[in-house]
């Protein structure tokens, strides 16, 4: 008798602890962000990102600024969800299991200029959240018509069960830097404002019913050719791995503020489970210790032409074509082995790098429905 009771107790505690650590399953993902997670939004709005994007996996351009899959694609795969359709793509999209509001070039802050003039996407984070809110409402109105719409749009209860993933901020930091603001000025004036707008965005998604948030911090921008090459830096600005320290410190300053914001959001949004994901460290490690993964020249872009990093802002980057004697020639070509490069085009990570990043965060991903 006694042994039955104690084994019942053991069972009880076992089930308690296993429910606290049960793997999470999400039936849908709603994603917000920039090119780090754009699966075709900017391409739908402003024209396709051309070859050789997509060569390593999709075989042709697939709306991603990458040779293959992004971290968000690996996340979708891991939950058995098809790759996310871009909200802006009106052709062949299926939103039953979520939608992707991210576009390449999106900042947190509203953009006051045109895409053609500056290359920043007009779909800033606040706009993406408005689009999401509109999607939430309209999808239900249209779904109620029945038929095919029930196979293309999410059920009403999906919104509170879905994972809300966010990866944004990189373009705000680089835009301010390219506008010749000092790193110190950006840290003290821009960062607090960006974080405040970020908190507003998460709060607005929560008001729409979002409960599970997966928030990537920003990467080591000082290791990316497009940032390093912009202004002449001093030798003393570079760390042991060739990354520009002032820019990485700026990214870390943003990340510290973001982490603090997440702590505050956990209090203000009491029903939410919010995970802060340190992708910075994982990405930085690829530059610092890439050799162990076969990345021998981690700062050098796979796709591009010319310059120290195979990246050339002035003559055009990955996918650049020139006309010689009436014939078009691709000069912004892919390297032979994209699987051995960290950086794809001077700005974005390769599929090989994205897979490693995903592998380092997947344990946390499976716990993202639990409050911390």
Closest approach of ligand NAG to the CB of residue 367, in Å: 25
Eight-class DSSP state of 27: S
Judged on CB neighbours under 10 Å (0-12, 13-18, 19+), 178 is: middle
By C-alpha distance, which of 137, 123, 41 is closest to 89? 41
Residue found by looking up tokens 């606040």 in the block: 126
Residue of 53, 216, 305, 348 with catalytic role: 348
Beta strand extents in 109-177 (DSSP E only): 163-167
Single residue of 2, 116, 117, 151 touching ligand NAG by CB under 6 A: 151
Residue 322 is a binding residue for ligand NAG (CB under 6 A): no
* 359 labelled catalytic: no
Residue 90 contacts ligand NAG per CB under 6 A: no
Q: Is 152 in the site for ligand NAG (CB under 6 A)?
A: yes
Stretch that binds ligand NAG, among 23-31, 105-113, 305-313, 344-352 (CB under 6 A): 105-113
Binding ligand NAG (rule: CB under 6 A), the pick from 80, 82, 294, 364 is 82
Which one, of 260, 159, 156, 270, lies nearest residue 215 by Cα?
260
In the block, which residue shows the tokens 């396709």? 48
Burial of 133 (0-12, 13-18, 19+ CB in 10 A): middle
**Which of the ranges 21-29, 43-51, 91-99, 320-328 carries the binding residues for ligand NAG, by CB under 6 A?**
91-99
Question: Which candidate, 19, 17, 133, 14, places its Cα nearest to that of 369?
Answer: 19
Is 127 an interacting residue with respect to ligand NAG (CB under 6 A)?
Answer: no
| Stretch (H or E) spanning 15 | helix 2-20
Residue closest to 107 by CA, chosen among 252, 1, 254: 254
Q: Is 327 in the site for ligand NAG (CB under 6 A)?
A: no
Among 32, 58, 83, 97, which residue sits at the site for ligand NAG (rule: CB under 6 A)? Answer: 97
Q: Which of 34, 35, 43, 96 is catalytic?
A: 35
Q: Which is nearer to ligand NAG, 116 or 151 (CB)?
A: 151
Minimum CB–partner distance for residue 95 and ligand NAG (Å): 8
348 is catalytic: yes
Q: Cβ of residue 180: shortest distance to ligand NAG, in angstroms? A: 14
Catalytic residue among 38, 73, 167, 345, which? 345
Residue 230 CB, nearest approach to ligand NAG (Å): 18
73 Cβ contact partners less than 8 Å away, ≥ 6 residues apart: 39, 64, 83, 354
**H or E stretch at 330:** strand 327-330
85 contributes a contact to ligand NAG by CB under 6 A: no
Three-state SS annotation for 199-234: HHHHHHHHHCCCCEEEEECCCCHHHCHHHHCCCCCC
Beta carbon nearer to ligand NAG, 141 or 263: 141
Choices 107-115, 209-217, 249-257, 364-372 (CB under 6 A): range interacting with ligand NAG: 107-115
Q: Is 137 in the site for ligand NAG (CB under 6 A)?
A: yes
Q: Which of 172, 283, 284, 155 is nearest to 209 (CA)?
A: 155
Between 14 and 110, whose beta carbon lies closer to ligand NAG? 110
Q: Is 38 a catalytic residue?
A: no
245 is a contact residue toward ligand NAG (CB under 6 A): no
Q: Where are the beta strands (DSSP E) in 66-170?
A: 98-100, 163-167
Catalytic sites, residue numbers? 35, 345, 348
Residues found near ligand NAG in the complex (CB under 6 A): 82, 94, 96-97, 109-110, 112, 137, 140, 151-152
């Amino acid at each position: 008798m006694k042994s039955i009771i104690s084994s019942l107790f053991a069972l009880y505690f076992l089930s308690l602890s296993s429910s606290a650590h049960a793997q999470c399953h999400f039936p849908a993902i709603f994603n917000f962000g920039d090119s780090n997670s754009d699966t075709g939004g900017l391409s739908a709005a402003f024209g396709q990102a051309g070859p050789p994007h997509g060569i390593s996996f999709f075989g042709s351009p697939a709306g991603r600024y990458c040779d293959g899959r992004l971290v968000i694609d690996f996340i979708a795969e891991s939950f058995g969800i098809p790759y996310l359709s871009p909200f802006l793509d009106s052709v062949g999209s299926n939103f039953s299991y979520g939608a992707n509001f991210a576009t390449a070039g999106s900042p947190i802050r509203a953009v006051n200029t045109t895409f053609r003039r500056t290359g920043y996407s007009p779909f800033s984070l606040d706009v993406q959240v408005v689009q999401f809110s509109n999607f939430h409402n309209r999808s239900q109105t249209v779904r109620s018509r029945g038929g095919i719409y029930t196979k293309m749009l999410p059920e009403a209860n999906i919104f509170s069960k879905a994972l809300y993933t966010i990866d944004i901020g990189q373009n705000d930091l680089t835009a301010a830097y390219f506008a010749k603001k000092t790193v110190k000025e950006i840290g003290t004036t821009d960062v607090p404002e960006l974080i405040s707008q970020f908190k507003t965005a998460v709060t607005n998604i929560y008001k729409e019913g979002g409960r599970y948030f997966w928030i990537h911090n920003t990467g080591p921008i000082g290791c990316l050719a497009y940032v390093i090459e912009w202004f002449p830096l001093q030798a003393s600005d570079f760390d042991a791995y060739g990354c520009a320290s002032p820019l990485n410190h700026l990214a870390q300053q943003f990340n510290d503020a973001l982490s603090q914001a997440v702590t505050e959001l956990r209090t203000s949004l009491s029903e939410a489970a919010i995970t802060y994901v340190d992708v910075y460290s994982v990405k930085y490690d690829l530059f610092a210790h890439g050799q162990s993964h076969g990345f021998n020249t981690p700062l050098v872009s796979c796709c591009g032409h010319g310059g120290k990093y195979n990246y050339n802002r002035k003559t055009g980057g990955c996918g650049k074509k020139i006309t010689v004697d009436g014939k078009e020639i691709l000069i912004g070509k892919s390297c032979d082995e994209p699987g051995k490069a960290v950086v794809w085009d001077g700005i974005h990570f390769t599929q090989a790098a994205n897979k490693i990043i995903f592998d380092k965060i997947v344990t946390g991903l499976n716990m993202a429905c639990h409050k911390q």
